Structure 1
Amino acid sequence: MGTEITLDVGGLCVDWNKNSRGADHGMLFQSHHRKRVKTSQLDYDYPELDAEVIASMERALCATLIEVCPRLELLGFTLEAVKNEYESSVVAWLDMQSRIREPDDLFETNILSFTEFCDFIKSYPLVQLDNSYNESGCFKITQGKFQNDPRILRLPVHAHDIGVAYSESSYFGALIGFLHPYSTLRVLAKCEQNFNVDVIWNYGPVVENGYASEDDFVPGARREQAFLIATEGSSDVHIIKHAFALLKPEIQDFFRFIDVSESHPFPGTGNLVKFADGLIKIDIQNNVIFVFDNDAEGYEAYQRIAKMSLLPNMRVMLLPELAAFSSFLTSGPSGESLADINRRAAAIECYLDLEYGEYPAAKVIWTTYKKEMEVYHGALEHKESYTRSFLKQTYDSVRNNKYDTSKLVAVLDALIEECFSIKSSEGE
């Protein structure tokens, strides 16, 4: 019979292989997701079952669907991408039916829209589906929770082509199995009751039986799936990296940074522009996002790179403009006043909690007049102190609202949107 390896979600199999690793699903998981999970390929009632064999067979990578979901999106499986795949499947299915059916053989053409398909998914939470084996050998459409659901006939799959289904769960999987396995996972996350079901890649049996090595099952984003974040200064690296660790730890391994442990190899906006030009000329294959401060120097450099012929796997962005910066305390030759510091003085430190600690009111000092842009460039006073305070924050302190991370969340969200833009261009 051989040894199977499956990728399951809530008891529903979305991908499988026999006698080898099959598709690599390690990027869906992180290192702490290595767990022991009971396997259907082991007879637990066997009286002389060895404890070491049990432990070996139960080796798996296991995470909840809500943990996996943001990782799916960074792999390119956003809802928009799934919608496009679904609509392409509908077109292909209708075309096939028109070719294989006899002229007088009618078939359903009013296929569910993607919104209706998502509603269909929401109607059948995985936790409510019976996953027990049906002794009759074939689960019928007239049985179980699917009885008389007219939407089944409007799916881009013919009921008679589904094949054998042995339970409510397997029948449901057959109905939606025309999608890519990761698209299936992403759309299942549209149902809130599926958030906490487990996504399991149980690799123990294929390793125990000699069809694969433990080294074939490595969690974490692969090099080609990660995004290199290139910033103009070392503080940007430290702050953004720490922000991911605190606010979005479930995807932090997708982001790589220039090594600044000793010094920044491309410090300043000018050097970063040259670095971008060099990467374009060598046709860099990695995903790269250039991030500039939302200040006068950053905006000038941003415009220079934006005019380059960027590769499809490259993006350039400014830190997001925020309403909080539209009326900010500043100090210059004419004294103190409130001013809009967007594109003028909002460096990365301005996105920290500027009310944390015992500092005076946050203030930007105007330093340099950019003649070509006709604006002053400024810098945040005591920015090093704000940075040190943030880098001392822990997961618990930000979760307990002791530190305001709202502006940093905006930074990370903007960064992630650029990642989505890169992934969406891959299918063009």
Structure 2
Amino acid sequence: MTSKNSFGELLLPFSSRDLRIEDAFDEDGEQYTRRYFSSTVSRLKLILDSYGFTIEVAKQNFATLKTEKLDFIQYCLESDGETFGLSQEDVATNFTFENWYQAALRYAEVLANGQYELDQFRTENLSIAEKILLDSLPYGEGYWGFTDVEFNVWSVFRTLLDAFPSEMDVILDYTDLYESGWCDEYPTEEDYDVPKTIILTEGKFDAEVISKSIELLYPFMSKFYSFMNFSEYKVQGSTNFLTHYLKAFIAAGIQNRVIALYDNDSAGLAELMDLEKLHFPDNFRILHLPNIALANNYPTLGPNGEYCLNINGQACSIELYLGADVLSNDGKLIPVHWKGYNDKTKTYQGEVMQKGLIQSKFFNKCKTPENGNQILEYDDNWTEMRLLLNCLFNAFAPSN
């Protein structure tokens, strides 16, 4: 990845909240201003995975790149015979993704420790993958075993992150670039901008809940998602309206990724049954709120009194994902009230009672605690919301 007079693609996994400009001291004790972005391995892995740069995708790309490498070696053999001591057969047999992956992890750690003199690692027992990597590092003619034309920086970078502990800091230092005049001191909003995934929900409260929860639990993910503005434009919400908006987006040829998120209740699942008959573009995903353990044995109220039942697929609206603390009143979970019967799903439709109270308690809960996200990280009352958000983050993973 190269760019001149701009940050180019470098800021894809970063936002302005990751920017640090502070006084520092060099090796000679001279003070200077350091400019850098700071994140962690776990955060960058989640970002890149959600954006589609998964290990599985890297594996698929490897197969294509390997074919191109074999063609290049064959070309060299037929022209001047210079193939860096490798034969096409050697590479075809031994240059596998797993071998390349293990070699990449090893030398990523070596380079991260500042060991740029790699000749000490050249031995007769090197595997083909190790030989290819060493011939390209750190300043060779290739990039981690491939040429710069083939190189996908984020796929390889995502792979290399597996070599390091989850909470290890990842630093993008641009001090020298700025001092040499190659970029501005402060990135513009456009520098941070990325195509957003649009999340369509059944209503205004659903969108507010998910947006606020991302900002609280995974603030580094917030720049990747946008939501329909129900309030400003007086947009109507319901299960049927969600389907209407979904079809309108498809008909309009929207190029952004789009997730349509239905409730995990009888009405939502009935709508999904109808949608199964339709074909959707690759940039669309149709999901429902996930099953949760809290709903496996939840109090319900019907004609025959109060019973604890499994309400997954029958009565799980967004309120059921706000935490047991929000769903409780006077120490007891607020029950679900059974309503009409749904012929399509052959189940009853339920709705949690006292929604106004639940929603008010959630907004109070969202007021950032004194210690911020350190408390939220270990708070069991965010378990269901974390599960929901990770379903959204992984919506476009290859297995989905």
Q: Counterparts of 1:258 and 1:129 in 2: how far apart (Å)?
A: 42
The 2-side partners of 1:254 and 1:86 are apart by 26
- Matches of 1:149 and 1:222, distance apart in 2: 47
Per the normalisation by structure 1, the TM-score is 0.76
Aligned residue number for residue 376 of structure 2: 398
C-alpha distance in 2, partners of 1:238/1:397?
21
Deviation readout 1:213-270 (Å, 9 max, x if unpaired): 557654876352x111111112211221122122222212211111134575131111
Conservation of the 8 A alpha-carbon contact between 1:112 and 1:151: no
Paired residue for 1:84? 60
Alpha-carbon distance between aligned partners in 1 of 2:378 and 2:394, rounded to the nearest angstrom: 27
CA contact (8 A) 2:65 2:146 kept: no
Alignment equivalent of 1:154, drawn from 116, 125, 129: 129
Range that drifts further, 355-364 or 314-323: 355-364
Higher relative contact order (CA 8 A, sep 6+): 1
1:20 paired with 2:18, answer no
Q: 1:419 to 1:216 in 2, by over 3 A?
A: same
Q: Which of 4, 12, 16 is the aligned partner of 1:31?
A: 16
Query: Are 1:234 and 1:264, in contact at CA under 8 Å, matched by a contact in 2?
Result: no
Counterpart of 2:261 in structure 1 is 291
* 1:222 match: 193
Q: Give the TM-score of the pair, scaled to structure 2.
A: 0.81
Counterparts of 1:86-101 in structure 2, within 5 Å, are 86-101=62-77
1:343 corresponding residue in structure 2: 313
Task: Kindly indicate whether the alpha-carbon contact (under 8 Å) linking 2:13 and 2:48 is maintained by their aligned counterparts in 1.
Answer: yes
Counterparts of 1:61 and 1:119, CA distance in 2: 28
Distance in 1 (alpha carbons) for counterparts of 2:94 and 2:167: 27
Q: 1:198 to 1:367 in 2, by over 3 A?
A: same
Match of 2:238 in 1: 268
Q: CA separation of 1:307/1:38 partners in 2, compared to 1, >3 Å: closer, same or farther?
A: farther
- Residue 61 of structure 1 aligns to a residue whose secondary structure is strand
**Distance in 2 between the 1:195 and 1:101 partners?**
46
Q: 3-state DSSP class of the match of 1:350?
A: helix
State the AA in 1 paired with 2:128: L
Instruction: Measure, in 1, the Cα distance between the counterparts of 2:240 and 2:324.
Output: 28
Q: Structure 1 CA distance, aligned partners of 2:115 and 2:305?
A: 76
Give distance in 1, aligned partners of 2:295 and 2:320.
9
Report the RMSD for the aligned CA atoms in angstroms: 3.7
Work out whether 1:121 is the aligned partner of 2:104.
yes
Distance 1:28 1:59 in 2: 17
Mean CA deviation greater in 65-74 or 204-213: 204-213
Taking a change above 3 Å as real, the CA distance of residues 45 and 101 of structure 1, as seen in their structure-2 partners, is same
Residue 294 of structure 1 deviates from its aligned partner by 0.4
Structure 1 residue 189 corresponds to structure 2 residue 161: yes
Deviation at 1:31, TM superposition (A): 0.8
Quickly say closer, same or farther: Cα 1:399–1:383, change in 2 above 3 A.
same
Note the C-alpha offset of 1:75: 2.5
Query: Unaligned 5+ residue runs, structure 2?
Result: none
Please say if residues 257 and 283 of structure 2, whose CA atoms lie closer than 8 Å, have aligned partners that are also in contact: yes
1:336-375 correspondence runs (5 A): 336-355=306-325, 358-359=329-330, 360-375=332-347
What CA distance in whole angstroms lies between the structure 2 residues aligned with 1:322 and 1:125?
A: 39
- How far apart, CA to CA, are the structure 2 residues paired with 1:177 and 1:263? 50
Q: Which consecutive residues of structure 1, in runs of 5 or more, have no partner in the other structure?
A: 1-14, 134-138
- Cα distance in 1 between the residues matched to 2:285 and 2:47: 20
Q: Which residue of 2 aligns with 1:61?
A: 37
Q: Residue 395 of structure 2: which of 415, 418, 422 is its match?
A: 418
Q: 1:140 to 1:397 in 2, by over 3 A?
A: closer
Q: Equivalents in 2 of 1:322, 1:316: separation in Å?
A: 18
Distance in 2 separating the partners of 1:193 and 1:397: 22
Task: Give the counterpart letter for 2:105 in structure 1.
Answer: K
Tell me the percent identity. 22
2:47 maps to which residue? 71
State the shift of 1:289 in Å: 0.8
Q: Secondary structure of 1:20's match?
A: coil
1:389 is paired with a residue of what secondary structure?
helix
Residues 175, 342 of structure 1: CA spacing in aligned structure 2 closer, same or farther, 3 A cutoff? closer
Give distance in 2, aligned partners of 1:268 and 1:21.
44
1:140-179 equivalences in 2 (<5 Å): 141=119, 143=120, 146-148=121-123, 150-155=125-130, 157=132, 162=136, 174-176=143-145, 178=147, 179=151
CA distance in 2, matches of 1:272, 1:172: 52
SS of residue paired to 1:150: coil
Counterparts of 1:111 and 1:60, CA distance in 2: 39
* 3-state SS, counterpart of residue 337 of structure 1: strand
Deviation at 1:200, TM superposition (A): 1.0
